[in-house]
């Protein structure tokens, strides 16, 4: 793992193996669960829906900055299709993290970035991260932040921004754990975070 000076290694980093050509990766959680990661595809719509249904109301609010407890199935499917239909090259992209289950690979986390529609060539992109409640606190979010840096470099993104709920303490704890230099601006109940991609640790290609 290539890290800036004095940058700590979060759990999961030491087990991270990345194929930078295909942008696939594997690592192990703090509870010993193997995680397989890859870029999102259009056929991941149902996996996104399944992940959403396993999020608590609080996790949904923190991810989407809105209460989505009573969303209609048709709207949920439409939103999932739109989130899955990205190019991982220019407009937007995402890493998906899967664990094995008796029913097959199960999506437990997504790290996403997207350029703003009015600035398709901008070096800035909006970032978002969500981890299923029963898999939080196991190093998945921190490791996906590293993988998000790989995708950002592929898309020529230099700066990540995120608008989050001001009470999203799990995310702030994750960022403190990574010791990332970042800018924070809070207005009312929302905090805007800005992170330079160059400040994120970079994994070695060790697949």
| pLDDT grade for 175, boundaries at 50, 70 and 90 | confident
Residues 6-64 have pLDDT tens digits of: 344 455 567 889 988 888 999 999 899 999 999 999 999 999 999 999 998 888 877 77
The domain limits of the chain are 13-199
- For strands 159-165 and 124-131, give the pairing: parallel
Taking the CA atoms of residue 21, residue 35, residue 61 and residue 187 in that order, the dihedral angle to the nearest 10 degrees is -60
Answer for the pair 10, 142: CB distance below 8 angstroms, yes or no: yes
Could you tell me if residue 119 is left (phi over 0), alpha (psi between -120 and 50 degrees) or otherwise beta?
Answer: beta
Residue 132: predicted pLDDT: 95
Residue 35: predicted pLDDT: 96
- The mean per-residue pLDDT over the stretch 130-151 comes to 90
Work out the widest C-alpha separation in the chain, in whole angstroms: 49
Q: Which of 118, 97, 114, 115 is nearest to 106 (CA)?
A: 97
Share of the chain above pLDDT 90, in %: 42
Residues 71-116 have pLDDT tens digits of: 888 988 999 999 999 999 999 999 999 999 888 899 999 999 999 8
Class of domain 13-199: alpha beta
pTM for the whole thing? 0.85
């Amino acid at each position: 793992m290539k890290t800036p000076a004095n940058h700590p290694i979060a759990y999961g980093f030491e087990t991270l193996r990345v194929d930078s050509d295909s942008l696939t990766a594997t690592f192990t959680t703090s509870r010993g669960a193997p995680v397989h990661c890859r870029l999102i595809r259009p056929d991941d719509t149902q996996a996104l829906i399944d992940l959403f249904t396993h999020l608590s109301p609080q996790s949904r609010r923190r991810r989407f900055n809105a209460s989505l407890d009573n969303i209609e199935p048709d709207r949920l499917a439409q939103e999932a299709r739109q989130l899955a239909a990205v190019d991982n090259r220019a407009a937007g992209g995402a890493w998906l993290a899967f664990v094995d289950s008796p029913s097959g690979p199960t999506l437990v986390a997504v790290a996403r970035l997207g350029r703003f529609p009015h600035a398709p060539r901008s070096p800035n992109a909006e970032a978002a991260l969500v981890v299923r409640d029963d898999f939080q606190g196991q190093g998945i979010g921190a490791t996906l932040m590293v993988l998000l840096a790989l995708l950002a470099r592929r898309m020529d993104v230099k700066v990540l921004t995120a608008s989050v709920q001001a009470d999203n303490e799990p995310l702030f704890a994750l960022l403190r754990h990574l010791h990332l230099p970042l800018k924070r601006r809070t207005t009312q109940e929302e905090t805007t975070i800005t992170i330079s991609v160059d400040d994120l640790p970079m994994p070695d290609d060790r697949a």
